[in-house]
């Protein structure tokens, strides 16, 4: 139950951070390009890489911090950070095929999945 509570608290904070940063970006730069999404994905990836390195290699933080920050906050803030971190981890271990399969598969198949979803939404 403690894990669920930590994830939930982090998710509330992460979802709100995503929303407010997206609104701020739209107000500052407009909506012709998804600046908010780009900034959220890049900062989420940066923060996940930084946090996981500190948590697992430098300071060996209590695993509860991972539930709060990595799973909860960053999971709600952006799942892109998880995708890029996992891809980087595979590549860093020399698992080139798996790393690039995750990168290309998630991007290309994700794009096709969005297209399929749009098609289904328009035609059902």
Cite the annotated binding site by residue number: 75, 78
26 touches 36 (CB < 8 A): yes
Which residues sit in the known binding site for Na(+)? 75, 78
Do residues 52 and 110 touch, judged by C-beta distance below 8 A? no
In whole angstroms, how far apart are CA 89 and each of 21, 39, 49, 111?
Answer: 28, 22, 10, 23
The candidate with the shortest Cα–Cα distance to 81, out of 110, 39, 29, is 39
Do 65 and 55 meet the contact criterion of CB atoms below 8 Å apart?
yes
Structure tokens that stand for 80 in this block: 């892109």
């Amino acid at each position: 139950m403690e894990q669920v509570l930590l994830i939930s608290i982090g998710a509330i904070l992460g979802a709100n951070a995503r929303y407010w940063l997206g609104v701020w970006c739209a107000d500052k730069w407009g909506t012709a390009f998804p600046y908010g999404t780009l900034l959220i994905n890049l900062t989420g990836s940066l923060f996940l890489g930084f946090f996981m390195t500190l948590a697992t290699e430098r300071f060996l933080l209590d695993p509860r911090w991972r539930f709060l920050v990595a799973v909860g906050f960053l999971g709600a803030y952006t799942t892109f950070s998880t995708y890029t971190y996992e891809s980087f981890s595979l590549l860093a271990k020399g698992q080139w095929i798996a790393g690039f399969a995750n990168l290309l598969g998630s991007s290309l198949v994700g794009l096709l999945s969005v297209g399929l979803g749009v098609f289904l939404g328009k035609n059902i």
